Copies of this chain bind each other. A is one copy, B any other.
Amino acid sequence: MDRRNFIKSTAITTAGIGVLSSTELFAQTNGKIKIGFIGVGLRGRNHVQIALNRDDLEIVAVCDTQEESLAQCRKQFNAKGTKLPKEYTGGVDAYKKMLSNEKLDAVIIATPWQFHKNQAIDAMKAGLYVGCEVIAGLTLQDHWDIVKASEETGKPYMTLENVAFRRDVLAVLNMHRQGLFGELLHLEGGYQHDLREVLFNDGKAYYGHGVEYGPKAISEAQWRTQFNIDQDGDLYPTHGLGPIMQFADINKGNRFTHITSYSSKARGLAAYVNKVSPGHPNGKINYKNGDITQTMLQCANGETMLLTHDTHLPRPYSIGFRVQGTDGIWMDVAKGIHIEGKSKPHTWDSADEWVKKYDHPIWQKYEEVANGSGHGGMDWFVFNAFIQAVKQKVQTPIDVYDSVTMSAVFPLSTESIAKGNKTLEFPDFTKGKWKTKKNTFMLDDSGM
């Protein structure tokens, strides 16, 4: 399907699509692009696997401080019969050697959050595209520093926010762009995921055993749990906000103006430790991160958004999406859609049928290759979107402004809560460019 037909077939005819010419979009680079990995823990290796399945790139080098992660990564290459990449290790600065020694087009960063900012800035300064796992930085200044580095180097920075590519999310975005919801008014999302078995383990198995974190644990519990001890805010806003930002054209004709956060007391993690291992000292820690954090956002064009962070409690997983306009509403918790004039009055339709009917063309086209890539296929889409931008030497579909906007809710929510639920002005990372930028997210098929 070429780009013109693709757009026609999805009936997306009103949004601005003039920012990239077809020539630019489909100009292919010669040969394979060369990428390096900073961080090949569980998450990094998920991207490595997707990369190994592609024939348009070469993993030249990987970097990690832990031999266990590098060893697991080697197994992936060997299983695929692919030439092993050069390895950089020996300390948290090892990635700098990789950046100066290797000739790369892009890096994928999948390290603990506290390392993301410097690694990303150094990579952009080395002339590389950056695909960085979620949480761009820890402070608001970190986020501004990333914008500055991208603007000064001219290098795109893309947060690898995968939920923006989830099949139902893109189907509903498709519905929105075809006008089914009427004028958009309110959106909700969040990260409601019982992470207790991720935040604690026994130092041997990844999940399901033990109540250790930090040096006595492995994988994410080594570093992530400390944030739940130290910070009271929405630690993980991007899976909720990344997708709904695209619906509301944030940074593309719209922007956030105000933000306020509330958080409940923190009881879940200590309660968990006390249930699993009564008397363990980790049950006596004064965890600061409220069990439920909610954040309200006001948009310049009059829409409102609500984000929820809820990761310390027993509960079924839910992003809690809600998309609502003058003509209808989608709520994933209700598994329902209601569209005026099409649904029975005051009644939910099953969302499944609507999602199938409005399936996004990129999912129809790439379903087979995406399947099995992780998180229901959406990991393939986010990785592919980044790689296509690198190959075509164009802006990434989630640009540096989008990336820092969704991530900045972390420090902003923390500040709001620390100041007694104070309402804060949301910074305009685009410095006014939001007024003229056009939303082209998933309007085109960037190809394989």
Contact = CB atoms under 8 A, between A and B. Distances in A.
A183 interface: yes
A229 interface: no
Classify chain A: how many residues form its interface, as a range.
Answer: 35 or more
Interface in A323-356: 324-329, 331, 333-334, 336, 338-340, 343, 345-348
A260 B345 CA distance: 32
A262 B260 CA distance: 9
A314 B292 contact: no
Given A315-B324, A324-B292, A423-B420, A185 B347 contact: no
A190 to B, nearest CB: 11
A306 interface: yes
A303 B348 contact: no
A310 B275 CA distance: 40
Interface string A296-325: 111001111010001001111110000011
A260 B315 CA distance: 27
Contacts of A267: 182-183, 185, 326
Nearest to A305: B262
B264 A303 contact: yes
A271 B314 CA distance: 41
Interface of A is mostly: loop
A21 B403 CA distance: 62
Contact of A182 (B271, B326, B343, B422): B271
A326 B423 CA distance: 28
B260 A296 contact: yes
A421 B421 contact: no
Contacts of A303: 264-265
Contacts of A327: 271, 314
A314 B347 CA distance: 10
Contacts of A328: 314-315
B186 A291 contact: yes
A268 interface: yes
A263 interface: yes
A428 interface: no
Nearest to A335: B334
A194 interface: yes
A294 interface: yes
Nearest to A274: B326
A316 B336 contact: yes
Contacts of A182: 267, 271
Contacts of A296: 260, 262, 294, 296, 421
30 contacts: A182-B271, A185-B291, A186-B264, A186-B291, A194-B346, A258-B420, A258-B421, A260-B423, A264-B303, A264-B304, A265-B301, A265-B302, A265-B303, A267-B326, A292-B304, A298-B421, A313-B324, A313-B329, A314-B327, A314-B328, A314-B338, A314-B340, A314-B345, A315-B329, A316-B336, A316-B346, A316-B348, A334-B334, A420-B423, A423-B423
Interface of A: 182-183, 185-186, 194, 258, 260, 262-265, 267-268, 271, 275, 290-292, 294, 296-298, 301-304, 306, 310, 313-318, 324-329, 331, 333-334, 336, 338-340, 343, 345-348, 420-423
